Chain A
Amino acid sequence: MPEPPVFASQYVSIPHRDHSAELGMWVFIATEILLFGGLILAYFVYRHAFPQAFAEGSQHTDILIGTINTAVLLTSSFLVAWAVEIFSAATAKIVTWLLVGAACLGLAFIALKGIEYRKEYHEHLIPGIDFQLARPLANGVQLFFVFYLIATAIHAVHMLIGICLLLTLAIISRRAPTTRHHTALHSAALYWHFVDVVWIFLFALIYLPGRAAS
């Protein structure tokens, strides 16, 4: 791969720079884990306090869209992993299309999520805006939906950032790709997989309670 002769002067070599970038992304992911960790802790506190209400709340979510979204996101992660694997000057075109594909799947995820939000809005399940549910479990279900909306919204923001990253990289890698771009892609892929893993946790927490028995 052609490499520009200069790299930032604080590094002694290209691998030195690239490994530092990767370490940076891992540290960032540690931060992100704690961000979602705080939220998920709150979830478990309330699920422990209101088990029936959380099971009830989960029944009101759309597991079909949730499952399709999981599949969409896993496929998109696969495409990104594939792109990282085959990245080279010769495969620039394929890499570009793989990244565009992954980004499109990400957008599809967001679109499906939007449909799901709309459906919930029509079912009066949005706390603070329009929430109507027969008591007695209304309070707990409301807590469940507060968590659901905040968690999925934060996740969606992460998705949007990821999509922008993937599209930017897709555009860059059309031109002569370098090891620098490979590192960037590698870090972006770490981030994208992380967002994917978060979704798998959210999926289990949001869609599955109370469904095992039915």
Chain B
Amino acid sequence: MWRDWIPFWRPGLSPQSGDVDLLFAGLLIASALVLGLLFFLLILFCVRYRAGNEIDRGHRTSKSWHWEVSWTAASFVCFLGLFVWGASVYFEMYKTPTDELVVFVVAKQWMWKTQHAGGQSEIDALHLPVKRPVRLVMASQDVIHSFFIPALRLKHDVVPGRYQDIEIEIDRPGHYHLFCAEYCGTEHSGMIGEIVAMDPADYSHWLTQQAPASPLADEGGALFRQLGCSGCHGNGSQVRAPPLEGLYGKPVPLSDGSTVIADDKYIRDSILLPRSQIVASYQPLMPSFEGKVTEDQLLRLVVYIKSLAGRPS
């Protein structure tokens, strides 16, 4: 039991969390040395130079450039080292995710809704295979939340109005805490969930066990027709709109001469704020869907458009 009380005694469970633990240990040791030295000097001086003590107090100095420059330089060099160490691990944690396995996370007051590409959705839980990088695409329906898995030493805010994505990888099967770390209202402390890491075989089994759901892309396709998107973007439509087949991941030339990569964010922005980025040689005709689609629906549309990537335009 007592081991549970020692921070980080249970080592981190992702490839980067070991580095974070090492950094933490480094910081602790550095601090312990500084504190040890400081307390030693404080106690030494307090005892030796207490008022009643007859001791040599001659040759007092009231300033010394040598000492000032030395301890300033020493602090600076130490800090610089810690800065570089911390930053290099940080960049490793927040590196651009690969696109292997995508799970969507929608945060709302006060629950986590997670959705697998196959359409399986969970509330306040997330089942994942171990030893496989998973990309989480996160969006918030209302206020700012923060996706925090202490066991992975990883956290990212989920800010409304944009997508955030991070890559996570879990080394060992088990059940881990998922917390909302950004205060989000009344039931903030109830916005907790469970990460269930499973062996790949168990994970596949689990996926099939879930209530039959249509894959997200199919639901997105249905929405695409329902919302009237296909009226313009579909084949053989009267209106001239950019074709979406083969779009995802490709560079798109814009009317202002610049080029963007058609990623999740671009597709999302194009649905919500169509005229902020007009494709070259097209008219700005598309209406905004701001307020007409929920984050859940948006995700499905994005997944659908993504699924068109393989098809010829």
Contact = CB atoms under 8 A, between A and B. Distances in A.
Interface of A: 50, 52, 135-140
Nearest to A135: B288
B287 A50 contact: no
A137 B273 CA distance: 8
B270 to A, nearest CB: 11
Interface residues of B, number: 9
Nearest to A53: B276
A143 to B, nearest CB: 12
B288 A50 contact: no
Contacts of B273: 136, 139
A135 B291 CA distance: 13
Contacts of A139: 273, 288, 290
Contacts of A136: 273-275, 284, 286-288
Nearest to B273: A139
Contacts, number: 18
Contacts of A52: 275-276
A50 B290 CA distance: 16
A136 B284 CA distance: 9
A136 B274 CA distance: 7
Contacts of B287: 135-136
B124 to A, nearest CB: 33
Given A136-B274, A137-B275, 14 more contacts: A50-B276, A52-B275, A52-B276, A135-B287, A135-B288, A136-B273, A136-B275, A136-B284, A136-B286, A136-B287, A136-B288, A138-B288, A139-B273, A139-B290
B6 to A, nearest CB: 45
Interface in B255-313: 273-276, 284, 286-288, 290
B265 to A, nearest CB: 13
B30 to A, nearest CB: 37
The 3 closest A-B pairs by CB, nearest first: A136-B275, A135-B288, A136-B288
7 contacts: A50-B276, A52-B275, A135-B287, A136-B275, A136-B287, A138-B288, A139-B273
Contacts of A137: 275
A49 to B, nearest CB: 8
B222 to A, nearest CB: 25
Residue among A52, A135, A138 with the highest chain B CB neighbour number at 10 A: A135
A52 B274 CA distance: 13
A171 to B, nearest CB: 52
A52 B255 CA distance: 13
Contacts of A50: 276
Residue among B275, B284, B286, B290 with the highest chain A CB neighbour number at 10 A: B275
Contacts of B288: 135-136, 138-139
A139 B290 CA distance: 9
Nearest to B290: A139
Nearest to A50: B276
A50 B273 CA distance: 10
A50 B272 CA distance: 14
Nearest to A136: B275
Interface in B217-248: none
Residue among A50, A52, A136, A137 with the highest chain B CB neighbour number at 10 A: A136
Contacts of B286: 136
Contacts of B284: 136
B235 to A, nearest CB: 25
A109 B275 CA distance: 37
A50 B284 CA distance: 15
A136 B283 CA distance: 12
Contacts of B276: 50, 52, 140
A93 B288 CA distance: 62
A43 B225 CA distance: 38
Contacts of B275: 52, 136-137
A97 to B, nearest CB: 54
A182 B132 CA distance: 77
A136 B272 CA distance: 9
A136 B288 CA distance: 6
